A and B are shown apart, each in its own frame.
Chain A
Amino acid sequence: MSIFYILLTLAIGAYFIAVVESWAVHGRFSLSRPAFSALALFGRESILARTPDRLFFESAPVLLLVAGLLTMAVIPLAPGLIITDLATGALFLNAALAYVLVALIMAGWGPNGGYAMIGGWRFLGQFIAYAMLIVMPITAVAMRAESLSTTLIVLSQAELWNVFYQPLGFVLFWIAAMGLAWLPPLDLPNAPGELAGGFEAEYTGARLAVLRLARMVIILALAGAIVTFYLGGWLGPWLPDWLWSVIKMLIVTTLMLTTGRLVPRVRESYFLAAGWKLGIPLALANIFLVGVIALVVDI
């Protein structure tokens, strides 16, 4: 039964993301635009490249969707409302997100085209910059909760949310999450103005619909991860648990989609230098600080 609720949340959340993203891109708020454009995508002709690597080309959007769904499977919306409460849930979330990288490499190599290939390898280059920034803040969060289970991580924030306890980790994880979902300003892989759409350009018709749906599921799952690890999951005063989770996830998603567009696109060399020279020492300092505070203070 909880699978049904979570899939319903995913569907409504994905539609909400589509509405917000079209508002951010086109400047006009329209509740029905995503539905019509999805229908139009299914009706359009699907243009194939001349000699694609069919195996990679076809399976990349599906693998992306599977990775997003697996990530969502360990995110708790309420104390019992989780698809699978693994004891190593936080690490499993990470493992599922690593397959976004695999899917994008396949999507880049599959169409046998220049722009797509460059987009795919750019995603790998960016991923190397923030790969550690995804794992290390989770380490600090798990240190406080003394467990890797996502439910226990949420419960450990009953007195003080992690965003106030570990703000450094919050910022680093937010940036890494935006990079993982290739949102602006870290959207070099599909660089709409520069790379003619990157790897998304070679997908048309129904495959593009699956790719876009997969991307929305990944954005929602990453927002769910941020809410679970840092914003206290379902904890809140008057409303029911799952409503708090959904509201927080939608607020995080809106912020991720809209605020990034105000900053120019980050160049890969800058991002790599910043990620390794600034990000990793900050993440290590975060772990150290959290360790010291956890030993001294009693929260």
Chain B
Amino acid sequence: MTGSYAELFFLVFFGLAAVWFGIVVFRTHSMVRSAMALLFSQTAVGAMFLVMQTEFLGVLQLMMMATEMSIMALFMVMFMMDPGGMGAMDMSHQKRLSLRAGGIGLVAALAVSWLPDWGPAASNIPDAGRQVELLGIELLGRSMFIFESAGLTILTSMIAATMVAIAPRKKEGAA
């Protein structure tokens, strides 16, 4: 036991919440409940980040995922056949294959988590303000090229997504 019991308890609590909400996403029939369950799963992941003392990343995850998953809820209502879930339709295919794939992935990842000896736990974690400073210096120092190109990628994808999504306008006077 490296840290306190509180950290382990909250990690288990939020981790179970994240996985449970993730399962609810695919078990429920109502589409908006599915989107909200995904939102709360991401919130639990953000809370795990806060427990693991990465305050900036946790707060960022909470903020971004609340907005993104709400927009996903809107898209679900736009595109799904039964957003309220009152029809109780089963909208899945190749169930056995996907259950087997999920099972194999779970076993493999759990084996990697629990079997190796990861070495001694590190204990000199910079505090939250220092982490923000270090992130900023890293962003504008070593990783500046990466983020400049990421910014360019985001701009390109914004333009591409907008152009793909705009309805073609009919020309005046054409046949």
Contacts and interface: CB of A to CB of B under 8 A. Distances in A.
Judged by CB atoms under 8 Å, the answer to whether A and B touch is yes
B132 A148 contact: yes
A-B residue pairs, 9 tightest by C-beta:
A87-B128, A98-B66, A95-B63, A87-B129, A95-B62, A91-B59, A92-B59, A95-B59, A109-B32
B62 A102 contact: no
Secondary structure type dominating chain B contacts: helix
Given A95-B62, A98-B62, A102-B36, A147 B129 contact: yes
A121 B73 CA distance: 10
A101 B35 CA distance: 14
Nearest to B32: A109
A112 B56 CA distance: 37
A252 interface: no
A101 B70 contact: yes
| Central interface residue in A53, A87, A101, by most chain B CB within 10 Å | A87
A91 B36 contact: no
23 contacts: A53-B32, A53-B33, A55-B33, A87-B127, A87-B131, A88-B55, A91-B56, A94-B63, A95-B59, A95-B60, A95-B62, A95-B66, A101-B70, A102-B36, A102-B66, A102-B70, A109-B32, A112-B84, A124-B70, A127-B67, A127-B70, A147-B132, A148-B132
B36 A88 contact: no
Contacts of A98: 62-63, 66-67
Contacts of A131: 67
A255 B54 CA distance: 38
Given A88-B56, A91-B59, A105 B73 contact: yes
Interface in B69-118: 70-71, 73-74, 77, 84
Contacts of A109: 32
A126 interface: no
B55 A86 contact: yes
A70 to B, nearest CB: 10
A56 B36 contact: yes
Interface in A41-59: 53, 55-56
Nearest to A148: B132
A106 interface: yes
A99 interface: yes
A109 B85 CA distance: 12
Interface string A79-99: 000000011100110110011
Given A87-B128, A98-B66, 16 more contacts: A55-B33, A87-B55, A87-B131, A88-B56, A88-B59, A92-B59, A94-B59, A95-B60, A98-B62, A98-B63, A101-B70, A105-B32, A105-B70, A124-B74, A127-B67, A147-B129
A87 B132 contact: yes
A161 B83 CA distance: 49
A83 B172 CA distance: 62
Interface of A: 53, 55-56, 86-88, 91-92, 94-95, 98-99, 101-102, 105-106, 109, 112, 121, 124, 127-128, 131, 147-149
Interface of B: 30, 32-33, 36, 39, 46, 55-56, 59-60, 62-63, 66-67, 70-71, 73-74, 77, 84, 127-129, 131-132
Contacts of B84: 53, 112
Contacts of B71: 124, 128
Nearest to A55: B33
B60 to A, nearest CB: 7
Contacts of B67: 98, 101, 127, 131
Contacts of A148: 56, 132
B63 A91 contact: yes
A147 B63 CA distance: 18
Contacts of A121: 74, 77
B60 A91 contact: yes
Contacts of B70: 101-102, 105, 124, 127
A257 B39 CA distance: 32
Nearest to A100: B66
Contact of A99 (B32, B66, B77): B66
A88 B132 contact: yes
Nearest to B63: A95
B126 to A, nearest CB: 11
